[in-house]
Structure 1
Amino acid sequence: MVSLLVTVAVEPDTPGGEVQARTSLRNLEGAARFQRLAERFGVRPTWLLPYPALSDGRTEWFGDLWASERAEIGAHLQPWITPPFEANEDRLVARPPSAIPASAVEAKLRTLTDAIERTLGRRPRAHRAAGHGLNGAALQALERLDYAVDSSVTPFVAADAAGAPDWRAAPEAPYFPDRQQPQLRGSSPVLEVPLTVGWDRPLPGVVARALTRCGPTLERVVQTPWLPTPRLRWLDPCRSDAGALRTLAETAIERGLPCLTLNLRSPALWPGESAECPDAAKVDKVFERVDGFLRFAIDELRATPRTLSGFAAHYLNETGCV
């Protein structure tokens, strides 16, 4: 039976999509509404927290969720808002962990991990890198800090200008990554649970991979809106409409994936704090899509809700890797 993982990457407000000089988390005003929606379907979300969220005034609420097993709290490393800071570090540029020195990655991840444990009373076991920027240094730091699961990989997605890795060759299904090249299978004890990304129709594996390897010119042609060509979709209510979310979930199950990983960024939970949701109507549309998808996944696909670390334990037990 397929597992359903609902993850919320908590991020600072980015009105218009821009990093702000003063970090704020007004978007968490919508967190309780989202939690209530999830609980209606018996879903325990995994809230992935950045460093500023641990002094935001909502730590007691997150701690209560975790203590009562209504949600899981994980870590979301965003280097530009996580100490220690280098003297010349530009804190107005959102660089992923894969774009900063290896020594800085471990120092910042340790700071974040210790802050979560100190503030909420438990050590996190789940992680996601900002900008999907997991590299060898970040993976090895996760190992040393005793993380069980990461969910940063975006299959079929190429590298971007911000410094995120090229994930086009990465597996779609959960796997143990290579310590130097996390896009490949290897022997790390940290289970990688990729986000659910795929094409909007069933495609043979060789065709799907070929489409991801096309050059920039052909890629632009393939993604031209009026052409009846396959589209790359994310299991994300800000990137995909209700129909696309359903189709992607169905095709993922047809491909034999053991889990569906729904991703949401917290700025979309409150009006005006993201480029995608500038007003209340857009936020309501996101909640409507999440509601419809959870109903579909649980009632029709018979998916079993799990947290990220809960799924990792289940997967290891099912596959005999424990």
Structure 2
Amino acid sequence: MHSHIPDGNLLHPPAAEDIIELDRTFGTRFLLFVDTEEEFDWDAPFSRTAHTVTALKGLEQGQAYFAAAGVKPIYVTDYPMLDNEAVVAMMSEWVSDGSADIGAHLHPWVNPPFVEDVNRANSYAGFLPEDVERAKLQALRDRIHIAFGQAPIAYRAGRYGAGPNTARLLEEMGFRLDTSVRSRFDYSADHGPDFYGMPLGPFWAGPERNLIELPLSTAFTGLLRGSGQSLYWAAHAMGPMRAALARARLLSRVPLTPEGVPARDACEAIDALLETGTRVINLSFHSPTLEPGHTPYVRDAAELSAFYQWWEIVLEHLDQRGVRPATLARFLAAVPPRAQIGDQAACQAA
């Protein structure tokens, strides 16, 4: 579990004054981030070369679907995608016509400079030596700037691999938003970050508190959801206990993604988040899922059809609950300048 050290580190819970209260006019909205990446065998060891970039038709169809639904995705994009001229040309059109935004997504094993060993531990960019993480982030940011004519301001680490230096490096490079924190998940057993106990809503991060963190949305559902976090953590030590609680519909941890999460469970998770006052919901999936055969979630045409049916159900549920889509710009505009937050706190104290 975390100790409380309010230092802007993405691995430490924020101080109370770093929690962001969005502008009231923002209402309750959702954003969609797409981890836009190469195709590779998810069950194989990481490799610098064993990957492809072929799922362009699926990506194009996905963009058409979301544009028709009034959703403006943020495609956080990694280096192999940027090396594909067809991908850059296609996505540049979306940026130009205002139907999508581009951010950065770092898979260190396929992102230059190639100086580290390729293994599971080094697949979490935030746990690489600071100079290596910086160099890879810089190369990715510059490559996006060249490809699209603008530097990215949104970032998600591949494998949610934020580390102790990530927020500071992103601040230094001019990023405004990070969305690497996957609240209620712990990857420390696999050499990765522990996000258990981190907030679900946005907060200020980085030593200068110039970086906005927007965690991915995960909810506890079931009859025992009120004590979900502590109970789920306790059940972790009991082996099959988590699965038993989920089967009995007493307690489940539900990330808001179409990948491996039934639509009914996602709708229950949305309701649970709204019940606790959540103002912004962060949905996500991986771009290779848009074409059969590249991820475990869509292996054939029937599963691709089910993927889009998931979106039909979830988008309809969001609409019924009054949760509208937000663009990246709209979300950023709803974040009050941090100076105002400090001034308000001082006024309240006075």
Q: Structure 1 length normalisation: TM-score?
A: 0.89
Q: Secondary structure in 1 aligned to 2:200?
A: coil
Query: Are positions 1:118 and 2:139 aligned together?
Result: no
Q: Secondary structure in 1 aligned to 2:285?
A: strand
Which of 290, 310, 318 is 2:330 aligned to?
Answer: 310
Q: Secondary structure in 1 aligned to 2:123?
A: coil
Query: Are positions 1:135 and 2:163 aligned together?
Result: yes
1:153–1:92 Cα change, 3 Å? closer
Give runs of aligned pairs for residues 27-176 of structure 1, distance below 5 A: 27-56=55-84, 57-86=86-115, 89-90=117-118, 95-176=123-204
Aligned twin of 2:32 = 6
Structure 1 residue 157 displacement after superposition: 1.1
Aligned twin of 1:183 = none
Structure 1 residue 138 displacement after superposition: 1.4
Aligned twin of 2:16 = none
Aligned twin of 2:212 = 191
Letter in 1 for 2:314: F
- Give the conservation status (yes or no) of the 8 Å contact 1:125–1:148: yes
Task: Point out the more displaced range, 70-79 or 130-139.
Answer: 130-139
Gaps of 5+ in 1: 180-186
- Give the conservation status (yes or no) of the 8 Å contact 1:177–1:190: yes
Cα distance in 2 between the residues matched to 1:78 and 1:279:
26
Cα distance in 2 between the residues matched to 1:191 and 1:103:
23
1:175–1:16 Cα change, 3 Å? closer
Gaps of 5+ in 2: 1-26, 343-350
- Give the conservation status (yes or no) of the 8 Å contact 1:149–1:309: no
Larger Rg: 2
- Per-residue displacement from partner, 1:17-49 (whole Å, max 9, x unpaired)? 434543212233311111111112211001110
Query: Are positions 1:246 and 2:267 aligned together?
Result: yes
Structure 1 runs (4+) deviating above 4 angstroms are 91-94, 202-205, 317-322
- Give the conservation status (yes or no) of the 8 Å contact 2:121–2:190: no
Structure 1 residue 320 displacement after superposition: 5.0
Q: Structure 2 length normalisation: TM-score?
A: 0.82
- Give the conservation status (yes or no) of the 8 Å contact 2:222–2:249: no
Q: Give the alignment's Cα RMSD to 1 decimal.
A: 2.4
- Give the conservation status (yes or no) of the 8 Å contact 1:126–1:309: no
Letter in 2 for 1:81: V
